Structure 1
Amino acid sequence: MIGFPFHVLNTVDSTNNYAMARVSEGPVTAGSTWFAMEQTAGKGQRGKQWRSEPGENIMLSTVLQPALGLHQQFMLSVAVALGAFDFFCKYAGDESRIKWSNDIYWRDRKAGGILIENVLRGSVWQYAIVGVGLNINTPRFPDELQNPVSLRQITGREWDTIELAQDLCRHLDKRYQQLSPDTYPAMLTDYKSHLYRMEEPALYRINGEVFQGVIRDVLPDGRLCLEKNKEILELGFGEVEFVFTR
């Protein structure tokens, strides 16, 4: 089960790095999870850093051994995103959303993100290192950050981050245990029902061009179907940017 065992680290460069190092040392029990009170070099998607004051937020990584092929990687992403969404929605309410591909949003503001890194042995998917970062108790963010939000800002109260991190593990595990090629179509439908900006006109940027588009679908392999000028573009990760206006 995800979260068994559950380790608390005082300070670490990155929980994903720490988990990856444990895997490189030898076999690791699937579900092993490391929660950090402080990260000095937290990792986000596409090389971005995840910054947090000590003890304020959820920063954890869990080691999984998916019974899936490498061509099915987006299936795991969907299950993890749904687990994180279920958790955040429980505390923040039904204005929570999943932003493609696996960020957690509340209204138009980012509450957290997910980073999955893989360990391969030949063509075998040996381990997945699943990192989750969620803003919990941050009272105020730097002005240069585009659109962050914390659970404290939403609810007006402080939370026990370790207690919430363990509850997050339970939500992640529930979705992960449901995951299989047979259940994936229903999970993908559920994922799309909670997708940020689904079927809503909004601004996007591709190769420097800003335009109004509408998300119409997410394909089983993870590609985003974005309508632009009555044409459907099938886009992979990093090929499109969501544009926000304050």
Structure 2
Amino acid sequence: MDTVKVVMQSSSRNLTFKEATDSILETGLRRFFTGLAIPFYSYGFINAVVFTAYKESLSIFDATGQSPFANAMAGAISGAVQLIPAVPVEVIKIRQQSIASHPGEKQLTARKCIHTILRMQGFTGFYSGTIIQAFRDIPGLTAYFYAYSESIKIGKHIGLSTFWSAFIGGAISGALSWCVSMPFDVIKTRQQVGNGITITNVLNTLLKEKSYKIFFRGFNVVITRAFVVNACTFAVYETVYEHLKKY
């Protein structure tokens, strides 16, 4: 689904979900998994950074973890901290995925992508789009953890177990965070696809379409994924965390 989203966002045409899916299928089923390797090995670490930064920040602002403001601030800090490992992963992944629907081009491996970035832009190329990703991730994770903390309180208040409170809260917070982040995600994808493209260049191109819908391209894909992924993420996280607290 992530590959479909990137193809929709990076295309100069206003592709529907079906059109993006069909264009990838024309190049082979394996193209749906383009760019999987780097995220597969790194997302666990990135999530560990996010949750550790969140928990440590929350303990400073409010040891009880009950303050909505403290949860929001801790979310913002975690969003800033995780940019260090997350931006290079996004740059490599997006450059691989952006050509998934190009039938005339060979699949770009992670190694070749890394070599190309180093040759063309140097090490700084791995941090292309950092500013716009900060605009996406910091407000997004602020909304994410704020919504989650409030959802957990409501879930426990009405008698749900920790697992189900976390599952439902994760689904809600994941969807809400993408509502906040989506316009920045479209800009980020466009900027990270190319070499040396500025935010201004991307905005000028997008604004020529004269429709706010361009800033929500791929929204149906990310919302569907957000419900499932974040529900499972928080349910597992809370279950493991509760278990580890016993030792």
Q: TM over 0.5, yes or no? A: no
**Whose strand proportion is higher, 1 or 2?**
1
TM-score class, shorter: under 0.3
Which one scores higher on RCO, CA 8 angstroms, separation ≥ 6?
2
Please give the TM-score of this superposition, normalised by the length of structure 2.
0.24
Please give the TM-score of this superposition, normalised by the length of structure 1.
0.24
Rg larger for: 2
**Whose helix proportion is higher, 1 or 2?**
2
